[in-house]
């Protein structure tokens, strides 16, 4: 523990490993669906494959949390990065020999499942690698790495794919995973092996029951906060991901080529918003208190109102676009700060032997909420797209209700 003065060398190695690994993951998760669309020409196939890929992420997150609390987190990270590198190489070797749809589906399933098992180990390692007062800034750094990878991965992966095709892109991704695994070999994460005479299945059942009981009965406020985090993904994140592109491409009066260009800018703007939120949480981490986190949600809900106003038919398209971009970046930033605050509080207050499992449940529930929201918004924009301002007004009301629920939950935590 003497090494843990603020940020330890091992924490920085975890961060670097995250940068390399998440970049490779983002490249693959972007390139594979695009390649599938180019090969099959079917948007329906792409939608089914992409939608189904979220299932293993939700399933594997709780299992990953159990593994993170029972197994050395170092082993989990190293093994999964080596495994992903091998999976990518296997895809390249099998390419052209079996159905491309089946290969992409299986590979995306495994990628999302690996991500679900991998992230709880990363999150659970933070409290043992940094001092308690640095946990929120440390989470902010991890969040920024994820946002930056999500921004640069598709951008660079898309450029490389358009120039060289799928083989070089996946070869680079395989190299990223391998390099990350090799570097993570040198990480030292404190670990105390638990002695047990029970079978693995029995241990898994007991761990799941323990974590559910802890969240549901011993700390019911955590269950409420989990639902609030899921609500953020369901209402706001899904709206940003689905609504803004639909508005730019189909609703605002832009030419097709201009709309495509502005849509690309909007994607980058939203990613920058998440990155800015991570930076803000890191800089002001000591001043941010969990019992005030609900104010970020309330402000985000209020900001949805002007986004609806500029979608009225009388508003010029460029003015509407500018307001949507400016407000969108602020909402994404505040949502990121809220999530980081809640995650940091849970890491600090949850018993060390349960951190991985509790965080895993939050990841699983929140992850499931976003695709549900995307489907819902897709249906709404399909039916009443020309009155899109109504969707934003409804989302504003829902966001304010979520903020009120978060306020009550965080107030109970302080009692």
Ramachandran angles phi, psi of 130, nearest 5°: -135, 160
Q: In this predicted model, which residue has the larger pLDDT, 393 or 355? A: 393
Is the pTM value of this prediction over 0.75?
no
Give the integer Cα–Cα distance in Å for 370 and 49.
Answer: 16
The pLDDT tens digits for 363-389 are 778 777 877 787 788 778 878 877 889
What is the CATH T-level fold of the domain 1-184, as seen in this structure? Growth Hormone; Chain: A; (1.20.1250)
Closest CA to 121 of 79, 85, 59: 79
Q: Count of CB atoms within 10 A of residue 138's CB?
A: 25
Q: Could you check whether 1-184 and 199-415 share the same CATH topology?
A: yes
Chain centroid offset of residue 16 CA: 18
Please state the domain extents for the chain. 1-184, 199-415
**What is the chain's length?**
415
Q: How far apart are the first and last CA of the chain?
A: 31
- What's the chain's average pLDDT? 80
Residue 274 has pLDDT above 90, yes or no: no
Mean pLDDT to the nearest integer, 66-89? 85
Give the integer Cα–Cα distance in Å for 200 and 202.
Answer: 5
Q: Let me know if domain 199-415 sits in CATH 1.20.1250.20.
A: yes
Residue 220 has pLDDT above 60, yes or no: yes
pLDDT of res. 5: 47
Share of the chain above pLDDT 70, in %: 86
Distance set, CA 169 to CA 111, 160, 166, 397 (Å): 16, 6, 5, 43
What sign has the CA pseudo-torsion 21, 22, 24, 25? Answer: positive
Give the integer Cα–Cα distance in Å for 23 and 28.
Answer: 9
- 27, β-bridge pairs: none
The pLDDT tens digits for 311-361 are 998 889 899 999 999 998 999 888 888 888 887 887 777 777 777 777 777
What does the angle CA 77 – CA 81 – CA 85 come to, to the nearest 5 degrees? 170
Ramachandran angles phi, psi of 158, nearest 5°: -65, -40
Residue 4 has pLDDT above 90, yes or no: no
Mean pLDDT to the nearest integer, 107-112? 85
């Amino acid at each position: 523990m003497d090494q843990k003065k603020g940020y330890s060398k091992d924490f920085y190695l975890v961060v670097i490993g995250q940068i390399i690994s998440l970049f490779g993951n983002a490249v693959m998760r972007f390139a594979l669906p695009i390649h599938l669309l180019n090969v099959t020409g079917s948007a329906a196939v792409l939608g089914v494959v992409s939608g189904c890929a979220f299932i293993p992420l939700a399933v594997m997150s709780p299992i990953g949390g159990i593994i993170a609390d029972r197994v050395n987190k170092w082993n989990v990270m190293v093994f999964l990065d080596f495994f992903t590198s091998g999976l990518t190489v296997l895809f390249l070797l099998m390419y052209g020999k079996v159905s491309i749809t089946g290969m992409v589906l299986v590979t995306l399933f495994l990628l999302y499942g690996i991500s679900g098992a991998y992230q709880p180990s990363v999150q659970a390692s933070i409290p043992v690698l940094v001092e308690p007062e640095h946990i929120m800034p440390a989470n902010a750094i991890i969040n920024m790495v994820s946002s930056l990878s999500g921004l640069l991965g598709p951008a660079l992966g898309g450029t490389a794919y358009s120039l060289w095709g799928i083989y070089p892109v996946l070869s680079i991704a395989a190299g990223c995973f391998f390099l990350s695994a090799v570097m993570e070999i040198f990480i030292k994460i404190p670990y105390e092996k638990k002695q047990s005479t029970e079978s693995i299945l029995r241990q898994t059942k007991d761990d799941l029951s323990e974590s559910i009981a802890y969240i549901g009965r011993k700390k019911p406020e955590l269950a409420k906060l989990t639902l609030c985090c899921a609500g953020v993904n369901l209402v706001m994140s899904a709206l940003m991901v689905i609504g803004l592109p639909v508005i730019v491409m189909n609703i605002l009066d832009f030419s097709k080529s201009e709309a495509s260009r502005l849509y690309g800018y909007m994607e980058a703007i939203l990613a920058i918003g998440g990155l800015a939120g991570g930076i803000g949480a890191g800089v002001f981490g000591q001043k941010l208190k969990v019992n005030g986190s609900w104010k970020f949600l309330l402000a985000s809900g209020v900001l949805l109102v002007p986004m609806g106003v500029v979608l009225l038919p009388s508003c010029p398209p460029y003015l509407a676009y500018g307001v949507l971009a400016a407000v969108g970046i602020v909402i994404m930033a505040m949502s990121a700060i809220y999530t980081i605050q809640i995650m940091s509080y849970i890491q600090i207050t949850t018993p060390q032997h349960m951190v991985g499992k509790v965080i895993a449940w939050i990841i699983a529930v929140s992850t499931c909420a976003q695709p549900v929201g995307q489907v819902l918004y897709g249906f709404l924009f399909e039916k009443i797209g020309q009155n899109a301002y109504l969707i934003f007004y409804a989302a504003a009301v829902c966001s304010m209700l979520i903020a009120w629920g978060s306020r009550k939950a965080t107030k109970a935590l302080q009692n």
